[in-house]
Chain A
């Protein structure tokens, strides 16, 4: 019997665990370790943040699903990884500490034959002074953050109804933060809700971003066919913001937030400030910060993990110049190069470099988005890693039959721009590939026929449809495995 341990139960980890169990059956053991007892469909947190969905609509308890599937669930956080075992055992293991009510604080060594690290990002509010729900800004990164943000938004709406003008600041809260898409969605939804209540004249909404140009979204922007032209997502994004009466500040790295005021540095090196009454800013992401040790108990964290805490995989980390970047720098199998039975999926793998061009201010501050790894590639990567591991275990395969390179796979991003079945809007954006391939597509970097940017009611329907489809899939309802990632 083989044992596969999956760390994390987000989009990538849950997908991986589900396919591993389906393919391995009862003969082998699949263990999921996650500190949260819930699965959450993160893309819908936006709607929790504007009060259009309740928290329980975007989450469900994992143990019910895992009991049905036969997956062992440990509500715990991983603390250290020992890929060679230790002085007491030759088997590799992960040390975990339970956080569940019944076993809180208990520790355990969980041995594995294969390890899938799908721990997602650590939300590093602490990297920007004064940032975060415990300080001076809000967040929609988790369902609880989004719920709290909705409570705060309601208070602002009430104040506007009383004739008090409110300033909204939404965007990225760190010079190298990513996930611009989620913040952009939230800005549009806030504007939509305010306009619906006929309070637009009482609101000043500002979009603040570390992008060089709007529409970069951490992937160097894209080009779409629109109105007889091939136009950049900069034009598309600016057009949408303009339509929603949202002004913008770009090339801005927020470095400090005080109550009601955010301080930022521009790419020109200027130090500026912007005042607000309500602010939702996305923090920097890093890996979870696990330590790794070899059999002798020596710290090998820098062998297993990149300096940003994400796990090293089969990518090219040689640190090439922007001009030399290639899609071949990006991983295909997500296997750790030192320990072949360890994989990192979704946001947990260390990208070889950013996708957006690195930019530095005259003061030496890096101001550009880190590479995004959205739900779709995270799900695909989780699945192919599961398929490869299952084939190694069941068929004795030695080669990775399944691969997923972000320079070959595309992604769809449905940006909600207003929640209503009849008057809502959504921006449907697709790119293929995610990482531009200038060798294959020398002019635009991507397949222009596969790249879409469209606004309309259909976009809202698609986002809503995807919400229910992916919750269905995650809950393991009939034919879940037929639904694509």
Chain B
């Protein structure tokens, strides 16, 4: 992926947290994300079941 430009201070977009290389790696790590897929689906299902009376 192409990286565009470096962040500059004193601009609004420079204040929020920016993901580190490690964070980006885990976000696309196949095995970790496979686990996340099921974990998030479980969390969604809990909400879905609760929402149906």
A-side residues, CB < 8 A to B, are 195-196, 198-201, 227, 235, 238-239, 241-243, 245-248, 376-377, 380, 383-384, 402-404, 408-412, 422-423, 425, 428, 430, 432, 450, 452, 454-459, 461-462, 484-485
Please report which residues of chain B, range 27-46, place their CB below 8 angstroms from some CB of chain A when the two chains form the complex: 27-30, 33-34, 36-37, 40-41, 43-46
Residue B22 is within 8 A (CB to CB) of chain A in the complex: no
Q: Which 10 A-B residue pairs are closest in the complex by CB-CB distance?
A: A409-B51, A410-B47, A238-B16, A200-B4, A458-B36, A458-B37, A457-B33, A456-B27, A239-B16, A198-B2
Pick 5 A–B contacts, CB within 8 A, sort by A: A238-B15, A376-B51, A383-B52, A422-B30, A425-B27
Contact check, B46 vs A450: say whether CB atoms are below 8 A apart: yes
Contact check, B17 vs A200: say whether CB atoms are below 8 A apart: no
Contact of A423 among B1, B40, B41 (CB under 8 A): B1
| Chain A: minimal CB distance from B7 (Å) | 7
Given contacts A404-B51, A410-B50, A455-B27, 14 further A-B contacts (CB under 8 A): A196-B2, A198-B2, A242-B14, A377-B51, A384-B52, A409-B47, A409-B51, A422-B28, A425-B27, A450-B46, A456-B26, A458-B33, A458-B40, A461-B33
Q: Which B residue's beta carbon lies closest to that of A380?
A: B51
Q: Which B residue's beta carbon lies closest to that of A455?
A: B27
Contact check, A409 vs B50: say whether CB atoms are below 8 A apart: yes
Contact of A235 among B7, B16, B53 (CB under 8 A): B16
B contact residues around A243 at 8 Å (CB): 18-19
When A404-B53, A456-B28 are in contact, do A242 and B1 touch as well, CB less than 8 Å?
A: no
Contact of B5 among A245, A450, A454 (CB under 8 A): A245
Contact check, B2 vs A403: say whether CB atoms are below 8 A apart: no
Contact check, B5 vs A432: say whether CB atoms are below 8 A apart: no
Contact check, B36 vs A454: say whether CB atoms are below 8 A apart: yes
Residue B48 is within 8 A (CB to CB) of chain A in the complex: yes
| Chain B: minimal CB distance from A225 (Å) | 12
B contact residues around A195 at 8 Å (CB): 1-2, 4
Q: How large is the interface on B (under 10, 10 to 19, 20 to 34, 35 or more residues)?
A: 35 or more
B contact residues around A432 at 8 Å (CB): 47, 50
- Mostly helix, strand, loop or mixed at chain B's interface? helix
Contact check, A248 vs B13: say whether CB atoms are below 8 A apart: yes
Contact check, B40 vs A462: say whether CB atoms are below 8 A apart: yes
Q: Tell me, in angstroms, the Cα distance from A39 to B15 when the chains sit together.
A: 43
A contact residues around B13 at 8 Å (CB): 238, 241-242, 246-248
Q: Tell me, in angstroms, the Cα distance from A281 to B49 when the chains sit together.
A: 34
Contact check, A201 vs B18: say whether CB atoms are below 8 A apart: no
Contact of B33 among A245, A383, A456, A485 (CB under 8 A): A456
| Chain B: minimal CB distance from A297 (Å) | 39
B contact residues around A248 at 8 Å (CB): 12-13
Q: Tell me, in angstroms, the Cα distance from A412 to B49 when the chains sit together.
A: 12
Contact check, A242 vs B16: say whether CB atoms are below 8 A apart: yes
Contact of B44 among A198, A227, A245, A412 (CB under 8 A): A412
Q: Which B residue's beta carbon lies closest to that of A384?
A: B53
Contact check, A235 vs B27: say whether CB atoms are below 8 A apart: no
Contact check, B40 vs A459: say whether CB atoms are below 8 A apart: yes
Contact check, B16 vs A380: say whether CB atoms are below 8 A apart: no
Q: Which A residue's beta carbon lies closest to that of B45?
A: A484
Q: Which A residue's beta carbon lies closest to that of B11?
A: A247
Contact check, A200 vs B36: say whether CB atoms are below 8 A apart: no
When A457-B28, A457-B30 are in contact, do A235 and B17 touch as well, CB less than 8 Å?
A: yes
B contact residues around A380 at 8 Å (CB): 51-52
Q: Tell me, in angstroms, the Cα distance from A248 to B14 when the chains sit together.
A: 12
Contact check, A430 vs B44: say whether CB atoms are below 8 A apart: yes
A contact residues around B27 at 8 Å (CB): 425, 455-457
